[in-house]
Amino acid sequence: LIECNDELMRTLDEQRCIHEAEIERLSRSNQIQCANLDSKLAEAEKVLEELIRDKNT
């Protein structure tokens, strides 16, 4: 019974480590995607300002 418990604890610890690594990977991926979207939004705002300026001249 103790051996089974030890094996279960090792398995749970391995799964916890796997899940933590996946969460970290997803977090980094999300940060990159957010940065890319922020950049695209800034570029779109710049183009919009230029279009408005061109329309008014």
Length of the chain: 57
In the three-class reduction of DSSP (H, G, I as helix; E, B as strand; rest coil), residue 6 is classed as helix
Q: What range does the domain containing 29 cover?
A: 1-57
Q: What percentage of the chain carries pLDDT values higher than 90?
A: 93
Task: Tell me whether residue 35 is exposed, middle or buried, using C-beta atoms within 10 angstroms of its C-beta: 0 to 12, 13 to 18, 19 or more.
Answer: exposed
Residue 2 has pLDDT above 90, yes or no: no
Query: Residues 18-47: pLDDT tens digits?
Result: 999 999 999 999 999 999 999 999 999 999
Query: Residues 43-53: pLDDT tens digits?
Result: 999 999 999 99
User: Token pair 């800034």 is at which residue?
Assistant: 42
CA–CA gap between residue 49 and residue 55 (Å, rounded): 10
State the pTM of this model: 0.69
CA–CA gap between residue 17 and residue 22 (Å, rounded): 9
Number of domains in the chain: 1
